Amino acid sequence: MRTGRSSALAAGAAVLAAACTAPASSPSASPAAAAPSSPAAPAPAGAGRLDGAELQGRWWNWAASSPARSNPVKDPDGTFCAENQPADVWFLAGSFGEERQRTCSVPAGRPVAFPLVNLVANASDCASWMKGAKGAAVLDGKPLTAERYEGSAIRLTGVEGNPVTDGAGTFDGLACGLWVQIDPLTPGPHTLRIAGSSGSFKLSVGYELQVG
């Protein structure tokens, strides 16, 4: 992404509106889909959970670390879900607003983290975004509880050709969104559905996860 230019993304749904030295004025896209109203299971409280700033900063840098041809956010079917994954957590992505169904192999013993809907922008844009932010994650038929982060300062570095920042460079911005962190899943197959929205942006992504 270039200074002063907004570009849409999605990790659950993400809009990127960051700039080199100052946040961009207004995001040009929106995120994601409807949230079920059924009671949510409490989020696991594992010792390896990341705080809001670290979680968002690391996820955004992961999402911007691959060019469009192999980027997990653009991935139509899960082929690139292992791209540039860190050693201590397994990140999942949403989409740029498209409905997706993906298959992904996840190493055993690795916690999993992903956004339902998220944004990098300035304080005013984050406040507007979060007013309308909704999302839900359902794992093996059981709703999960999302964490809400109103704004964390992050530094984001993207590689050339990545669809998240729309160009190589390092950008400062405020990250906000709805996020889910879960402890390592038991070995075997799992089904995950992610949905998120804010304003007119909606996304829905399904994952067939094979752990171990």
pLDDT digits (tens, 9 = 90+) for 202-212: 999 999 999 99
Statement: residue 6 has pLDDT above 80:
no
φ, ψ (nearest 5 deg) of residue 60: -60, -40
Residue type, 206: G
Average pLDDT over residues 111-129: 96
Statement: residue 30 has pLDDT above 50:
no
More confident residue, 42 or 187: 187
Statement: residue 196 has pLDDT above 90:
yes
Token pair recorded at residue 114:
């992903």
* CB distance 9 to 156 below 8 Å: no
| pTM given for the model | 0.81
Three-state DSSP class for residue 16 = strand
Exposure string of 62-84, with b = 16+ CB inside 10 Å and e = fewer, is bbbbbbeeebbbbbeebebbebb
Percent of the chain exceeding pLDDT 70 equals 77
Token pair recorded at residue 67:
């060019």
Residue 193, pLDDT score: 98
CA 160, chain centre distance (Å)? 20
Spatial CA neighbour of 197 closest among 130, 121, 144, 102: 130
* CB distance 119 to 126 below 8 Å: yes
CA 18, chain centre distance (Å)? 16
Statement: residue 12 has pLDDT above 70:
no
